[in-house]
Structure 1
Amino acid sequence: MAERIFGHIPNVFEGDVFENRIALSHSKVHRPTQAGISGSQKEGADSIVLSGGYEDDQDLGDVIVYTGHGGRDPITKKQVTHQFLSDKNLALAINCQNGLPVRVIRGANHKSKFSPEFGYRYEGLYKVVKYWRKTGRSGFNVWLFRLEKITVDQALTYQVSEDSPIYSKTTRTLTAQQRLNRDYSLTLKIKEIYNFHCQVCNTKIFTNAGFYAEAAHIKPLGEPHNGPDTLDNILCLCPNHHVMLDFGGFTIDDDYSLIGLEGKLYVKPEHRINSEFIRYHREHFTFNLPHASQPSS
């Protein structure tokens, strides 16, 4: 069994060019040698290839409107039936729900000014920010996914099991890049611990791709805060309380009482929160809240 990786592939960098789909598969950047989407409707999609393109695609560089899989005639490439939110399309929807990144590869056959002159070029990580159904140009329902480029300090890595195909040698160019890899397994772990319930309001949100919740870091990652990507620095929150936490709408006392909101943070025994990160949040992100301590100099 090989591992499906959500995030950058070790020793592969943005701008690396691969001669063909076999080389691309060998690199593990995109394992399928024919399918445009790599993933499953249970785990999510780890990579996509832009090659040839559906007629409803839009490639704007850092923003891509990607048409889902299915419904095309294999010979004419025209849309001849409706698409459904299942299989590979549901995989991309799961990325949106769980915040999983997807690797994007552009092929030379893709009709875009951003495509390479030859082969397949790795373009880095994108996030699926929304998805919707519409009547496409051919008159059939298609599913569209808006992908936005992830900046360097947002990049994360998560691995799951997948069947291993046979690969050949890869060709790549050398580039110098700096990137921060984070562990996406923690994002899923915190949601599993609380069964997608918000730790503040107990809300559990249902969508057409399953339940939705957000993993919120108490002490933010990256400069200048440099919080760790560890389970004791992460909360499971609904979108509203995630935004409030990030922008100082409430904070948390050492005994998990909420400051700025009524009630107490729900914490399960298997989820140990580091009090150092709670204190950091109180000192740096909350002002003018009842009983909130003032920031240190």
Structure 2
Amino acid sequence: MAERTFGQIPGYPEGTTFDSRAELSEAGVHRPLMAGISGNARDGADSIVLSGGYEDDKDLGDEIVYTGHGGRDPRTGVQVSDQALRGGNLALAKSSLEGLPVRVIRGSRHASPYSPESGYRYDGLYTVDDYWHDVGRSGFLIWRFRLLKVPTVPSAAERVGEGRADYSAAPRRETTVLRVVRDTRQAREIKALYDYRCQVCGTRLEGPAGPYAEAAHIRPLGAPHDGPDTPDNTLCLCPNHHALFDHGGLVIEEDLTMTGAEGRLTVHPRHRISNEHLRYRREHYRAPEEEPRPAARTTT
């Protein structure tokens, strides 16, 4: 099997079109001839194809809410059972954890104004910003992945600048940022309330410029979660527990005890935390039990 490549494929810049899945595979832009996700749980996902497969997909151009694979009737394409966090779904989750770029290819059958009129088009690199489970339109559990476009870097031929210098430049490598830490006025107030101590472990990080902590939103901001930037939706956490919280490794129960950490969440008397937001986080980010629910009945 060819070595898995993350990032751009030399010779195939963003905007390159292909007539078929076979051409995509031959070029190495998306290797599988059938599967929409290329990758595995060990390495991560290197590419996906949007080709009109899942009813819960949302394509906003630079932001995509992508439905994971599994649970569909192969004859009708209808969702008939729950999806599990394994195979390609687990590969995309791995890419989120590692900050790996994912090549996105759109097909003409994908119902989106951003799709090509025919064939397939490579539309650049995206990062897997978040992943969670939800109940889809057909009533079954699905895994959803929010992908955000990585800004395009001009090629050497497209750049305008001075001529080549006599010195050699240090080698560079492309990297991606795993998380965006938002620091709003509300967030700063919560961190100050806790004296920059993590509500989970009590750690206070001190640097030359002062203390450091991160504000974690319980119900994520923006669509499709639509969480508010308010104190009752904000926690003060250290970077380690923030990362665990974001990826489902830390769950806060109704009585403020925690799964993934010992003890109870520390809550300041002047800080009211919304039980509704905590419940939303548990329902969408706690790993669901793998026991499949019965398939929906169909009538003829």
TM-score (norm 1): 0.54
Tell me by how many angstroms 1:52 deviates.
1.9
Distance apart, 1:3 and its partner CA: 1.3
Q: Report the equivalent of 1:265.
A: none
1:1-297 aligned at under 5 Å gives the runs: 1-153=1-153, 229=172, 259-260=208-209
Aligned residue pairs total 179
State the one-letter code of the partner of 2:209.
G
- Alpha-carbon displacement from aligned partner over 1:225-273 (angstroms, at most 9, x marks no partner): x98647xxx9xx9987xxxxxxxxxxxxxxxx952358xxxxxxxxxxx
1 CA distance for matches of 2:179 and 2:73? 41
The answer as to whether partners of 1:13 and 1:177 remain within 8 angstroms in 2 is no
CA separation of 1:45/1:141 partners in 2, compared to 1, >3 Å: closer, same or farther? same
Distance 2:180 2:114 in 1: 33
Pair 1:177–1:61, CA change in 2 (3 A): farther
Give the Cα separation in 1 of the matches to 2:145 and 2:179.
22
Distance across 2 between alignment mates of 1:74 and 1:125: 29
Partner SS state of residue 4, structure 1? coil
**CA distance in 2 between partners of 1:19 and 1:229 (Å):** 34
SS of equivalent residue, structure 1 residue 82: coil
CA pair 127-238 structure 1, distance change in 2 beyond 3 A: closer
Q: Which stretches in structure 1 are left out of the alignment for 5+ residues? A: 156-175, 179-225, 241-256, 263-297
Q: Give the match for residue 163 of structure 1.
A: none
What is the Cα-based RMSD across aligned positions, in Å?
Answer: 3.3
Answer 1 or 2: higher relative contact order, Cα 8 Å, separation at least 6. 1
Cα separation, 1, equivalents of 2:24 and 2:45? 16
Measured after TM superposition, the shift of residue 152 of structure 1 is: 2.1
Distance, in Å, in 2 between the alignment partners of 1:136 and 1:72 is: 12
Amino acid at match of 1:38: S
SS of match in other structure, 2:65: strand
* Mapped partners of 2:139, 2:64: distance in 1: 22
Whole-angstrom CA distance in 2 between matches of 1:14 and 1:56: 26
One-letter identity of the residue aligned with 2:45: A
Verify the 8 A CA contact 1:53 1:111 in the aligned structure 2.
Answer: no
Q: Distance in 1 between matches of 2:53 and 2:153?
A: 30
Which 4+ residue blocks in structure 1 deviate beyond 6 angstroms?
237-240
Output the CA distance in 1 between the equivalents of 2:137 and 2:21.
29
Q: Which structure dedicates a bigger proportion of its chain to strand?
A: 1
Opposite residue 110 of structure 2, the aligned amino acid is H
Deviations 1:176-211 (A, max 9, x none): 866xxxxxxxxxxxxxxxxxxxxxxxxxxxxxxxxx
Distance 1:154 1:56, change over 3 A: farther
Separation in structure 2 between the aligned mates of residue 147 and residue 227 of structure 1, nearest angstrom: 31
Return the alpha-carbon distance in structure 2 between the equivalents of residues 47 and 146 of structure 1: 14
Aligned to 1:199: none
1:39 maps to amino acid: G
- 1:42-85 CA deviation, whole Å, 9 max, x = no partner? 11000000012201000111110000010000011010000011
SS of 2:55 mapped into structure 1: coil
